[in-house]
Amino acid sequence: MKAFNVPVFTGKVNERYAMMGKVISAMLAMQRYPWEQGVCAQALYEANQNDIWVPMAYDAVKRMDASGRLGMVGGGEAVSDPAANGEVCLRAYERTED
């Protein structure tokens, strides 16, 4: 398994980035519903954390159910929840062509 390059910053100048690294680490440690997976991946996409959001998009596709809903784990989610993964999956395809 590939290790993620989570940013780790120290010092007063970089306090904001240090907090961002802690939030990313905590976020990656949690199990998520489809909409949470999409929101997390979108936030990482917007933060240019390419080595993290691309694998999250890939995971959403790997967990697609028979009806095409992305990131389905466990079932019972609202029908629109998996759509939160849509943009990052599109952007990951554009980036990797995979």
How do residues 14-52 score in pLDDT, each as one tens digit? 777 778 888 888 888 887 788 888 899 999 999 899 899
The count of structural domains within the chain is 1
Let me know if residue 79 belongs to a domain.
Answer: yes
Q: Supply the pLDDT for residue 26.
A: 86
Let me know if residue 42 belongs to a domain.
Answer: yes
Please say if the pLDDT value at position 58 is more than 80. Answer: yes
Average pLDDT over residues 4-20: 64
Q: Supply the pLDDT for residue 1.
A: 43
* DSSP class of 82: G
Let me know if residue 12 belongs to a domain.
Answer: no
| Structural domain span for residue 64 | 32-96
Q: Which long-range contacts (CB under 8 A, 24 or more apart) does 20-26 make?
A: 20/47, 24/49, 24/52
Let me know if residue 2 belongs to a domain.
Answer: no
